[in-house]
Amino acid sequence: MPFAETAHCKIYYETHGDAAHPAVVLAHGRGGNAASWFQQVPAFVEAGYHVVVFDHRCFGRSYCPPEHFDRGEFANDLAAVLDAAGVAKAAIVCQSMGGWTGLRLTIERPERVSALVLSNTTAGVSTAAADAAVNEARKAFADHGIAASAVAPDFPKREPSLAYLYAQIGSLNVQLRDDLHSTSPAATAVEELAGLSLPVLLVTSDNDSIFPPAAIRDIAGNIPDAAFQQLPTAGHSPYFETAEAFNEAVLAFLAQHLG
């Protein structure tokens, strides 16, 4: 299995498709790992992209001693994955927690990123309007917890097999102790967004109670020329819940800007 060596860690990654094609990296959220993208990898390869997936440190098959779990290293870890995979520049498609990874890499190493997709994430950006929307929405899962809010409330009934698979994939993160979730990710000042000069798409979905549409729309308004798309039906994980609609939206964006 391929690994990228980074600070105190070995980051697992995979590549799929023709390395001569434009590269697209998929950065998973807190409830997942590289396997979460099983509905994207074949579709993106078929669309003509060289696809890279990876497990964040302490997730999936990546190894990191718990004392070195630091979300502030996520962007550096991704840069190490790009180096190990021989990818000079890639579009980064981020889900939830992965948004912190992708946005920080874009700001710190813009020469490595061709386009950025932020799906269902504020990516560490704090604004008064976005924070208010998030705080209001999260009252809805105060009693049953964040894990149960990762998909739309009716998703387990509509798609019981996929709901079961979602839970099983997340359970493979055996190194990720509960106390590691509390470590602070790298924040991005809203002023830093003004310097973004690459194509950016923000995706949200109707029933996201973790990062609701109002919060994502506000973040999009602070990024020059950012595109915004709201998908119906899904909760916090449209890439998993309504993969066809998610893939269509993201692939259309990539085709427009990467060819």
Put the strands of the sheet holding 50-54 in their side by side order: 3-6, 9-16, 50-54, 23-27, 90-95, 113-119, 200-205, 227-231
pLDDT at 133 over 90: yes
Calculate the alpha carbon distances from 10 to 24, 57, 116, 130, 153 in Å.
Answer: 21, 8, 25, 35, 36
pLDDT in tens, 155-203: 999 999 999 999 999 999 998 876 555 556 678 999 999 999 999 999 9
Q: What is the rounded CA–CA span in Å between residue 27 and residue 36?
A: 10
- The pLDDT, as a whole number, for residue 141 is 62
pLDDT at 144 over 60: no
| Total domains present in the chain | 1
Q: What is the rounded CA–CA span in Å between residue 68 and residue 157?
A: 39
Burial of 154 (0-12, 13-18, 19+ CB in 10 A): exposed
- Which CATH number goes with the domain that contains 179? 3.40.50.1820
Q: Tokens 């190490």 sit at which residue?
A: 80
pLDDT at 208 over 90: yes
- The pLDDT, as a whole number, for residue 149 is 80
Is the pTM for the entire model greater than 0.85? yes
pLDDT in tens, 3-12: 999 989 999 9
Let me know: does 12 contact 62? Beta carbons within 8 Å: yes
pLDDT in tens, 227-243: 999 999 999 999 999 99
Q: Domain of 9?
A: 3-258
- The pLDDT, as a whole number, for residue 177 is 72
